[in-house]
Structure 1
Amino acid sequence: MAPYASDENTTAGEVDEQRSRRSKAARYVVPVTVMGVAAATIGLVPALADSGDPDLPKITAQQLIEKIAKSDVQQLSGTVKISTDLGLPDLGGLESSLMSGAASPGEGGSSADPTSKLTELASGTHTLRVAVDGPEKQKLSLLENAAEYSVVHNGKDLWGYDSKSNEVYHGTASDSPKHEKEQPPATPKDFAEEALKAVDDTTSVTVDGTAQVAGRDAYKLLIKPKQSGSTVGAVTVAVDAKTGTPLKFTLTPASGGAAVVDAGFTKVSFDRPAASTFDFTPPKGAKVTEEKDSDKGGARKHAERAPKSLKSPKSPEDLGKGFGGAEGMKTIGEGWNAIATFDTGGEGVPSGEAGGDLGGFVNSLGDKVTGKFGSGTVFSTRLVNALMTDDGKVYVGMVTKDALVKAADAGK
């Protein structure tokens, strides 16, 4: 079916209030930062599409956005498949070490702590089982080879269980606002709201036909940058025609090729899950760690370097959100071409004899660039690029390498 014609090319006036305010970013090593920012995009997920092209009544982009906003689905369950292809360099296993190490538990911590475990969604393909029964009951299970990791929120209790290590993490929702924020959004509506927060007058929003997702008819909402220079090609959200619930999310890069993030329901039901779904009792012999006893100097210190949440940045200007609070955070440009910049207060990537083997290795992960600003190294993924100058300034955004160099030149 051909895309529906629509004069709704932008929704800036309708969603302007959703744009987030700029926040500060912490100092961090650029290669790990690029991975971390990319991990934050996982928060945009809802679904994987089936074949099919249902014949549905025409709808405008604004009407579809309103349909999402009015959706009030409180119960659902299903299976979600998430594939992430950030195009990170092959580090021979170091990538996994960096990602897990950035949030690994220290002495007194727990491998079942959601803060560390869910960073695994930053790369590769994963299968999740999800269940929701209102704001007080949610369960998410990450299925692994011969193992399973689950997060269960039931009333005041928050449980994490890692079957591989037979460890349990227990916190209370009333005392753990940090953990509530760190968990993936509780409903598909949350996912759609996060995606729409990136919409402003630099964005084109249209209805791009229909699709079938997990056996349900859906409209496709197409979100594209109007500006050139962004690494984002398009974002497509498949929206359930009946309930207004987002069922699919796909982010494709401007460079073409496979999606950076392709995630969605392979099965979905809007019936109330069984109450027993949200019951949890620590298995016999499991090591149980209470939140109040966890290592704040170890796991928490590392967690502060990781994204504060798995949700996407609320806007391109908010790329720094989730990395703490470094001083001097600024934003250059607007919309999808926004670039976050700050000064680390020290030297950039070590090179030559001064950097030794580490400097040579880190530099091998990026591309050396020069300009009026001097010289530096660009670290790239298929979505986020970061430039660290030799004098310690950092420029990061969902923009091309040339855009970063131009921004650094303008900053001199």
Structure 2
Amino acid sequence: MSGAQEKRKIDWAYAGVSNTNKCFTILVAVFPIVSIYSAGIQQLSVGDFLLAITFVLMLVKRRKSLKESELTRGVLSLRAFGAYIIVTFLFQLILSTNVGVLSTLRYCLYIFAVVLFYRKCDFEFGIKILGGLTMAISLYVVVQYFYFKALGSILPWRIPFLGVVDDAFVLKEQGAFYHQYYRPTGIFYEPTHYAQYCLIYFSYLLFCEKKIQKKWAKVLLIVAGIVCSGSSAGLFIVCAAFAIYFISKPTANKKSIDYLILLSVVSVGCFVLLSDSSLAGIWTKLVGTDGEMSASVGYRFNSANDFLSDERGLLAFLFGTGRGSSSAYYTAFFYVLFSHGVIGLLFFLRIFLSSFTSLKTVFQRATVILVLIISFGSEMVVNFGILTYFIFIFSYPSIFEGREEIRGLIEK
């Protein structure tokens, strides 16, 4: 065996990537995608089914538990939030608050998969898969957009012979409204879901990628995809990420090429938005007309009025009525408030605060901020998004720990 092969073997062994861990890493990267498709059981996705199997296998193979001191404050806060959900869930069952059993168990599975196994995720391997998928889907969104503009036909977003968890989106395809106001979604239900899937890799490119040309070429493609999708939430994520990027960079280290490329990206994006009537609606969706709140913003935040006007009693106000106890749409922030009460919301916000203060890299901190921001405008964080987001956030340092010592031993 050559020295290079021996080195790769030791590096791979040091990373602790067993076949099970490798499968787990792949599953985390594709989880938002496979969670679209039904496993044949009502409200159970293929992603849930695969995660449950992987969870049991990894639990059986788990040799030892991490000590309390080895867990970051963010992980401890996430664990506390999961424990709070379980305890309140038992009382909500007793009080018959219409809490959803499957919804609660599924979300707890996501949370404790992060808490127990985030170190089993090989970030380096996972980000390559996530990056490849993000770029391929972004390119597909651009193709969907121009294909529709040129031919008036819609390219498929789902695998036709597989059933999806939410049939409402399949029915929506058959309506005239869908074709009249079509927005490409890649391989997701909605443009917003595509944009949120891009978040992790977009943040990684901005804060970790060192090759300037490679970084900005990929950033440009993702931005193009988000612009073509017409996702107002995605556009907001892009603006917030760019703002954090330049705030986090010391002035002395900023390269003029960064400014030049960013200016070009923004200029092209603005030109496309303003020149295309269907995409120009993004601005209207954000700010509305005649000083009134837009539909896009309004339906996301009207849930706050519903919560405040709902006379459910002190216990429900403090502890919530449980996941799935309401069919109304809530963004993550207000969903936690409704389902888990004010106390649950404090546990939820503590995850972000403790993660931000305990994690050390700009990538991790920036991603925590971005995930918190989208919690006010989307529901993905209180769904399967919590798994993908936080495993990639928490597993990031593991690719650096001890690598130099290993390489030093190999060279000797």
Same fold judged by TM-score > 0.5?
no
TM-score (norm 1): 0.25
Structure that is richer in helix per residue: 2
TM-score (norm 2): 0.25
